[in-house]
Structure 1
Amino acid sequence: MTRTQTTTIELEPQTVERTSSLQRDAAFNPSDQDSILQASRVSDSTVPDGGYGWAVVFGCSAMTFWFVGTTYSWGILQASLLQQNLSSASTLSFVGSVTAASISFLAIVNARVIRLLGARTTALLGMTLLALGEILAGFCTRNIGALFFTAGIIMGIGVSLAFMVVSVTPAQYFNKKRGLANGIVYAGGGLGGTIITLVMNSVIEKVGPAWTFRILGLATLGTGLPAAWLIKERSPIRTATFIEWRLFRDFKFVVLFIAGAVATFPLFVPPFFLPLYSNSLGLSSNAGAGLVAGFNFSSAVGRLICGLAADKLGPLNSLFMSLLLSAASMLVIWPVSNSLGPLIVFVVINGAANGGFFATMPTVVGTVFGSARVSVAMGMIVTGWAGGYLMVG
């Protein structure tokens, strides 16, 4: 007992020094997996599971409110732009899917950007580009090419930077409560989708899609930047590796990579096409907006529940549960959703499962591969989601 207590007491004041030493070793020898894993163990064993970490969670959640909420509300803007004959539904949905797919296309690059610039600077850059893309898109609602560049590419870069920051930073502050922390972070996105969808539909009816884009951008700029300023790394580990090819020899990594690549194919179909689908059933635009809002609210609840389940039942079990519900709702409920009743059931179940996937994946990656490696591993796994994102268009 005495020996164990002494070891514990000595570990605390030396944590930063030991972690820094291991970081230097990993930087000089990027292929040394033991150094990276040991750095993760040292860092994870002394995380506060709270403290300033809750401020980081609040900042990440507020960022997620905007970049997830805006992405999941694209169907409302898409329906409005379709009514003014800007382009076809498939082309407009492709613009929205490019925004989402940028998360995958730039995942590995953004993981590198975080290690070079730091989480706070990356977060500020991401929110600035997101807001800038929205404001500029307000001047491009009559030109599909310009809208593709502003709402697709510029917003997409901003979304991708913000996504990577909120996916990897909370892992540095939480271990036993990591699932809860990620659940709260991503629940902000579901809440954002709910509120933005309802407000957006009302604003479009009053001022049109052009000013809706501008108002959205200004609101993102005014609240997103202060939230991004709260982001701070606890113990940045700057490895020299860009891609860890050795991870593809790890069975657990390969399974997660394939599962994510397959699962993302149907994830954005409901929020993108619910407004158009509800219109085809003879429902009003308000009903379509209500369904998307319900989807996003269910997503918020699912993210929080799956985050808690990850801590209690294990992150892999929570991920499997969300994927199972998502598949069941798409294969069983969606095909018979030809009226409002079944459609509501589908929205609730699929929305919760959809949100659970996004909230649980960072927890799984952080738990399996360690906080010192989470940015590289997460970047590689998210890259595999590109096909699913683009297929929405």
Structure 2
Amino acid sequence: MNKKPIDKGSEINKFSSSFEKIFKLNKETVPNNKNDRGNMENIPLPDTGYAWVILCAGFINFVIAFGGFNAFGVFQTYYLQTIFKSVPAETVSWIGTVTISTTLVGSLGVVPMVRMFGFRNSALIASIVGAVGLVLCSFATKVWHLVIFQGIIYGFASAVSFNISVIMVTLWFEKQKGFAIGLMNSGGGIGALILVPIVTSTVNGIGIKWSFRILAIIFLISTGTGAMFFKVRFPFKPNKKILDFSLFRDPFTVLLLIAGFTMQIAYTIPLMYFPSSLVALGKPQTFASNFIMVYSAVSIIRRISAGKFLDILGPLNILVVCHAISAVATFALWYSVKNFGSYISFYVIYGFFGINFFSITPAMNAGHYPLSRIPQVNSLMFLVVGIATLVSVPIIGMVFQKYGHRESFQEIIAISGTCYVISFLALLTLRFYLRKKDPKYKSGPI
């Protein structure tokens, strides 16, 4: 099989490149090289002029879409501690489960949506739908209401918004693509730093209903404004085929999917339950919610600086090391010790080394598979990670309810650490397999 060499660059650049490949360029209207493109009057030059407008629009979308997604940790704490205090934890967990799953699996719906409505219209539709979902959340009185309004409606709108933002920026930048995507992606962490205090203060000050409505207004104005500036730089044609299940015959894909499935479980538990564990430690609920900003701040540093580590170590080596460190930190600092200092240390390490699976594996896929198969393998990865969330989060909630009695977090922390160990072993096995079976990976970064 012909394999495309890994394109060195930042973690975020590689993440965006994989999404860019989902869209098949129309070779009859798009030149084959950068110089030809620049000589065509109807195609704007990349990295200049309107490209920076696109970047600003994408950055705003990431601030709101991903920032709002991170801010839902505040709502999760509120659900467990206040509004659904008498409801079993495994039932409440369906809200976060469906939100995360839809945000992941919803990426598969971007291509057909863009084929039907185009980029700008699809982004505008997502902006309106997401805002409507948040407004409906303000009227919710049952868990299943929030599963539909927050989980499905808002989750899908966020998926469309940030995926289109990534694609638009990759179409408008070439030489400075890494910087542009890295800056845009950091908006997710910056958004959490902005929105978490807003959500926390509004929940405590005027109630959760108006907190949802204010977030809906922010989402509509911000993402809607960003969507208005979206336009393509040159003609292209979306690829109809999204999934290719024949990929299961490749050990590379199978091992990577095992790692992704278990890593998503491990990664999700601190994301959803760490603020509540601080409350159990004796910290005020407001403090616990605001502590999400620590993770967000550290993750910003990680996203901006990740490129240098990729150049030196390679994407697979990065994942192996980060998963090993995350496993050790989970057991040593969150599971074994119950004091605020160890919890801070864990959360900082988790923020820097707890790399989410789908932000770096597209770089590996681009280096292993030919260009024509990249969209299918990435879509399959997203699907499996989404299924992992859909299946595991209710089970984790049940464990927290039945064995932790909504007070002890030891059981679910152990699940998180164990899943990190399994993902580490799967990635290590993949590394040995590639070194032994594939001449391309005999030496150098992998």
Q: TM-score range by the shorter chain?
A: 0.7 to 0.9
Partner of 1:21: 27
Cα contact 1:323–1:353 (8 A) shared by 2: yes
Whole-angstrom CA distance in 1 between matches of 2:260 and 2:35: 25
CA contact (8 A) 2:265 2:389 kept: yes
Deviation (angstroms), 1:362: 4.8
Please list every run of 5 or more consecutive structure 1 residues that lacks an aligned counterpart in the other structure.
1-17, 25-38
Query: Which amino acid in 1 is paired with 2:79?
Result: L
How much has 1:367 moved relative to structure 2? 6.1
Tell me the distance in 1 between the aligned counterparts of 2:384 and 2:217: 32
Separation in 1, partners of 2:361, 2:58: 16
Please give the TM-score of this superposition, normalised by the length of structure 2: 0.70
1: CA distance between counterparts of 2:28 and 2:243? 19
C-alpha distance 300-337 of structure 1, shift in aligned 2 (>3 A)? farther
1:218 alignment partner in structure 2: 217
Matches within 5 A, 1:193-212: 193-212=192-211
Please tell me whether the aligned partners of residues 50 and 173 of structure 1 are also in contact (alpha carbons under 8 angstroms).
Answer: yes
Question: What is residue 67 of structure 1 aligned with on the other side?
Answer: 65
For the structure 1 residues 311 and 278, does the alpha-carbon distance in structure 2 shift closer, same or farther, using more than 3 Å as the test?
same
Cα distance change, pair 221–343 in 1 and its aligned pair in 2 (3 A): same
1:119/1:249 CA distance change after superposition, 3 Å = farther
> Deviations for 1:73-101, whole angstroms, at most 9, x for unmatched residues?
22211222334343343322320220110
1:226-255 alpha-carbon deviations (Å, 9 max, x no partner)? 122333344433223242345445555555
Q: After TM superposition, give the deviation of residue 203 of structure 1 in Å.
A: 1.3
- Contact 1:105-1:383 at 8 Å conserved across structures: yes
Q: 1:212 to 1:308 in 2, by over 3 A?
A: farther
The 2-side partners of 1:194 and 1:379 are apart by 30
Change (3 A) 1:242 1:357: closer
Supply the AA of the counterpart residue of 2:216.
G
Give, in angstroms, the shift of residue 22 of structure 1: 6.3
Partners of 1:392 and 1:292 in 2: CA distance: 19
Cα 1:182–1:200 change in 2 (3 A) is: same
1:300 touches 1:355 (CA, 8 Å); kept in 2?
Answer: no
Aligned length: 360
Instruction: Find the aligned partners of 2:51 and 2:317 in 1 and give their Cα distance.
Output: 25
Shift of the 226–370 alpha-carbon distance from structure 1 to 2, 3 Å rule, reads: farther
Identity of aligned residues (%): 24
Cα 1:337–1:159, aligned 2, differ >3 Å: closer, same or farther? farther
Find out whether 1:128 has 2:125 as its counterpart.
no
Unpaired runs of 5+ residues, structure 2, are 1-23, 39-44, 395-446
TM-score (norm: length of structure 1): 0.78
Tell me the SS of whatever aligns to 1:384: helix
Q: Which moved more, 1:220-229 or 1:166-175?
A: 166-175
Q: Name the structure 2 match of 1:392.
A: 393
Q: How does 1:1-393 map to 2 (within 5 A)?
A: 20-21=26-27, 50-51=47-48, 52-86=50-84, 87-140=87-140, 142-174=141-173, 177-235=176-234, 236-245=236-245, 247-248=247-248, 252-310=252-310, 314-354=314-354, 357-365=357-365, 375-390=375-390, 391-393=392-394
Counterpart contact for 1:183–1:359, Cα < 8 Å: no
CA distance in 1, matches of 2:172, 2:373: 14
Is contact 1:366-1:374 (8 Å) kept?
yes
